Structure 1
Amino acid sequence: MSGGAVVLAATLLGVLPAVATPPGTGAGATLDEGSATPADHTVTPAVSPLVQSGPRNIIKRVQDTYVSNTDARDHSTGSVLHIGSPDNGTTRYRSLVQFDVARLKGATIKSAALRLHNSSTGSCAGWWMYAEPVAAAWNEKTVTWANRTAVVPGYQASANFGVGNTGCPDETRPFDPASSNGIKRIDVTATVRAWTKTTDALPNHGFQLSAGELDSKAYKRFCSMNPSASVYACDTAYNTPTLEVEFDATSPVVSAGNSKPVANGGYPADVPAIEFFRSGKVGDGPYQRWVPDAYHSVADPAGKLFPTRGWGGGTDHRLRPAGDYGQAAGDAVMVVADGNSGFVGVIPYPSLSGYKWAYNVGDADVSNVHGAELLPGGNVAVALSRTGTVAVYARSTGDPTSPAPGPAKPLSSKPLEAAHEVLYDPSSKSLWAVGGHALVRYPYDLATGTLGDAESFALPRQISQGKPAPAWGHDLEPVYGDPDRLWVAANAGIVQFSKSGRPGCYKGSERWPLADQMSGDMTSRWCTDYQAEKELNVQPLVKSVGNDPVSGQRLTTCADGCEGSNTTPSYTTSWLRFVTTGGDTKVTRWWDQSQHYRARWMVPGYQ
């Protein structure tokens, strides 16, 4: 990674997006002007929204069934769907599936795919199948071969595959179902675009699925919308028919953990969740939610991941390049830490199903994990605020496929009072961490997974009740667009840190850091020369901060009613605060009872 540049991207629907460099960036410029020497680097864009149909998402699964020429029974409660013919034309099958896409009306649809799990086939050589929009309404309990409706011409989508025969068995992966060879996709972009038009939209009556019915080579069987433990492969909710839609590509993903159980009226039960929003439409509500439950293939039969306390909504989460956990270049994972339960996980993204690594580091009374980071090679670093510790756990410790998990104790640990966040820096092979009094840098040994002696930088003190007091650091993020800078959020406010120590980057501040609390080389480390510092750094008790690498827009959260309304618990907020580099500010929320701690731009890059 020469010059500290990182070129990373996320895979969405198997397509690797181009790395975009926004105007005013790249060689000789930065998103946040003011550095003494502008950096030469490439900017990593935030990913665009991709929603999967599900019970908590804006695309809902509505109904599915299959019909046969040999009977008129109700097949809507079965766990499998059939298409084609298993007996050379004697018995013929077609299937029907329907999704509610009403909340995508008017969205710009970049791509759409119907995801299916193929668990039986008539030919390992593969054969064509088809998905076509249905022309009229149908009911899964009463539709039959005789009364099935026609399809709309001109929208036929097709795919050629076959898995599930003796010569080509389906190989399920319970901890990472998205990587199963039975997962197949059909491009249905044209139909979804037609359904979601604002005018002259095609009526949405779902899809008919079909295949050749004259011989058995085209026959296929899929899991239905009714998962069942008694049917092979169909015991996993990920394998149900799912509509995946990438949309509004110019609206980067914003995510926030919500510790308030959200009334949903269906499965899964009302529980806290990590919520995903379109950055420009937070008020519309989340388009997708994630919970570490059986529905998302996070199984815990032995009670090791949640031994004492339940999931609390996620204290920390961020997107990272998958590295050794990925199947291909561009794969991404979401690293999650939950202070209430002690759960820490590395979750495939954007599938959000299964896990690559998961371990419980101790609940709120034991460790109170506040931050997590993925390290090269698959080890995981955590910040434990209860014990004041930064620790590194081995990849083998949380590997769900390992027959002999690694030791429960960490590979390495270092004391740091009120440790709240960790951040890996590939340019210096270091782990940064922020605590109550200091920002520290630990050299990281890639071979042994151990942390070296800390280089410590005292946080500028704040003035509280007329006296100097600790700043109490809470968050640590890269300044996307300038690999020399880090964002630091604290009880005192927001500041940038220069890793190289750039003279003159401190230009004063109206609230923090104050000039009379700066000494020595602090003025070349703690920087206030970034754009719109006056408009961004206006609040105390800041719990998170970060910037969108494309637009430069910043996102922050604070606590204790700092936006004018109190929430319970007091360290959370219902508001997300956006500030442009020009100083324009928008404070928005989707629900007045939300309890957000940290909010993130979903960017798969370390710096």
Structure 2
Amino acid sequence: MRHPFTRLRLLARATGLTCAAVLFAGAVTAADAASGISGEKIVVTEQATDQILLLDSDRRSWQETKVLWRWRPTEANGLGDLVAAWGAPSDAKLRHLDGRPHLLAVDSRGLAAIVPFPDDAGPYWATDVGRQSNLHSIELLPDGNAALIASRGNWLRVYTASQGPRSDSYVEFPLTGGHGVFWDDDARLLWALGGDELVALRLGGTPARPELTEVRRARLPTPGGHDLHPVAATPDRLWITTESGVYQYSASKGIFLRDYPGADRISVGGVKSVGDDRRSGQVLTARVQHRNLCTWCTDTATLNRRGDALTLHGSHIYKARWWVDPTRPGR
């Protein structure tokens, strides 16, 4: 039997449509997606069709591929000149800029973009850092700039996105195996996760000439740092994944902990992304699936508290996140 996404590509060739057009022929409109968006939606980086997908968090929506919204760079959304830098999306987040929701997306082939949601009328900012860097994550800073982190580039950069939609100047901070980045608005710190260390940086200078100053550094309890995300239930803590486990880092105590509910099930190897929904307490994870054709991906996201497996058959999911902005007041 052919892989479902292989059949999708064959159907696309036969009809003359793109894979996206075939897959999402029955998807709801952007206006429908905009109404009622909450922490019960999930955004995934799907590498079989190279798209960002937004879905409800119920099993049936995944089984029937009921996608609420999807995105990839195209001529139509103003990113035709950067499509060659897209092909393996590695992170997606919801953030707000001047009160408006935006998608933050990066691709390991080099594209980083901040685009308005859901109208996708054109990017607030976008750039191509080159595929040799292996982009892993992105964050929007309060001054309108963008923080990017790259594992093979071994750097964290703050790009001056506030200066224009194609601004490519930046300040760089070296960090071996860079994988995760998060702006902590309460502490006014930029957290960056490397392969072996967690670093906190102070943002200074001006939007046009940003500066980064290290204020804290902590050695990870196990090697292979991968995902960094705030703990919604406990603002003092950060989720940290490594090759072999899932931890929470207490910023006030400066220690890594596995004392959270469900740690015996959640703290396993190969977890590429993790996050909890504040309202339901559900912990969402995406973990490497050894039978997946993409050796770093899965077709299933797990809701650990209720034990639900959300499966998008034939997909290559790298990360799955709650579609919620943790940097907003009242998150």
Question: How far apart, in 1, do the equivalents of 2:101 and 2:162 lie?
Answer: 20
Pick the aligned partner of 1:525 from 232, 255, 258. 255
Partner of 1:289: 70
Give yes or no for the alignment of 1:385 onto 2:151. Answer: yes
CA separation of 1:552 and 1:289: change in aligned 2, threshold 3 A: same
Whole-angstrom distance in 2 between the partners of 1:390 and 1:299: 24
Distance 1:376 1:310 in 2: 26
1:290 corresponds to which letter in structure 2? W
- SS of corresponding position for 1:312: coil
Aligned mates of 2:274, 2:30 — CA distance in 1: 33
Instruction: Show the 5 A alignment for 1:178-577.
Output: 244-245=31-32, 252-261=40-49, 272-281=50-59, 282-285=62-65, 286-295=67-76, 297-300=77-80, 303=81, 305-306=82-83, 309-322=84-97, 326=98, 329=99, 331-340=100-109, 342-363=110-131, 366-396=132-162, 399-400=164-165, 406=167, 408-410=168-170, 412-445=171-204, 447=206, 448-461=209-222, 471-501=223-253, 525-537=255-267, 539-561=268-290, 566-577=291-302
Please tell me the residue identity of whatever aligns with 1:453.
E
Give distance in 2, aligned partners of 1:450 and 1:483. 26
Number of the residue aligned with 2:11: none
How far residue 409 of structure 1 moved from its aligned partner, in angstroms, is: 4.0
Alpha-carbon deviation of 1:393?
Answer: 0.7
Query: Larger % of helix: which?
Result: 2
Normalised to the residue count of structure 2, the TM-score between the two structures is 0.84
1:579 to 281, 300, 304: 304
Q: Which moved more, 1:484-493 or 1:527-536?
A: 527-536
Give the C-alpha shift of residue 476 in structure 1. 0.4
Residue identity (%): 29
Rg (Cα) greater in structure: 1
Contact between 2:299 and 2:311, CA under 8 Å: does it hold in 1?
yes
CA separation in 2, counterparts of 1:244 and 1:57? 15
Task: Figure out how many residues of one structure are paired with residues of the other and give that number.
Answer: 302
Check 1:55–1:287 CA distance in 2 against 1; reply closer, same or farther (3 A cut).
farther
CA RMSD of aligned residues (A): 2.3
- In the TM superposition, residue 427 of structure 1 has moved relative to its aligned partner by 1.5
Task: Compute the displacement of 1:318 (Å).
Answer: 0.4
Q: Distance in 2 between matches of 1:486 and 1:361?
A: 27
Q: Secondary structure at the match of 2:58?
A: helix
Q: Structure 1, residues 422-452: CA drift from partner, whole Å, max 9, x if none?
A: 1011122211011111111111116342110
In 2, Cα distance between the equivalents of 1:251 and 1:373? 19
Task: Write out per-residue CA displacement over residues 557-600 of structure 1, whole angstroms, 9 at most, x where no aligned residue.
Answer: 11251xxxx223311111111111xxx31222121x21111111
Cα deviation for residue 313 of structure 1 reads: 4.2
Counterpart amino acid of 1:280?
D
Q: Report the Cα distance in structure 1 between the residues aligned to 2:51 and 2:128, rounded to whole angstroms.
A: 18
TM-score with structure 1 length normalisation?
0.47
C-alpha distance in 2, partners of 1:250/1:361?
A: 32
Unaligned runs of 5+ in 2: 1-20
Cα distance in 2 for partners of 1:299, 1:359 equals 9
Name the CA shift for 1:376/1:560 in 2 (closer, same or farther; >3 Å): same
Residue deviations 1:497-538 (CA, integer Å, cap 9, x gap): 10100xxxxxxxxxxxxxxxxxxxxxx61122211211222x
8 Å CA contact 1:257–1:597 kept in 2: the answer is yes
C-alpha distance in structure 2 between counterparts of 1:244 and 1:426, whole Å? 30
Contact 1:556 1:578 in 2 (8 A): yes
Does the aligned pair in 1 maintain the 2:79–2:123 contact within 8 Å?
no
Tell me, in whole angstroms, the C-alpha distance in 2 between the residues paired with 1:337 and 1:250.
22
Determine the C-alpha separation between the residues in 1 that align with 2:251 and 2:90.
26
Structure (1 or 2) with the greater strand fraction: 2
Q: Measure, in 1, the Cα distance between the counterparts of 2:304 and 2:162.
A: 41
1:421, distance to aligned residue in structure 2 (A): 1.0
Moved over 6 A (4+): 247-251
Change (3 A) 1:349 1:601: same
Question: Closer, same or farther in 2 for the Cα pair 1:480/1:530, shift >3 Å?
Answer: same
Question: Cα deviations across residues 367-411 of structure 1 (Å, max 9, x unaligned)?
Answer: 1111111111111111111121111111256x23xxxx64x341x
Q: Distance in 1 between matches of 2:287 and 2:191?
A: 22
SS in 1 for 2:214: coil
Q: Distance in 1 between matches of 2:159 and 2:70?
A: 27
SS in 1 for 2:143: helix
Contact 1:495 1:528 in 2 (8 A): yes
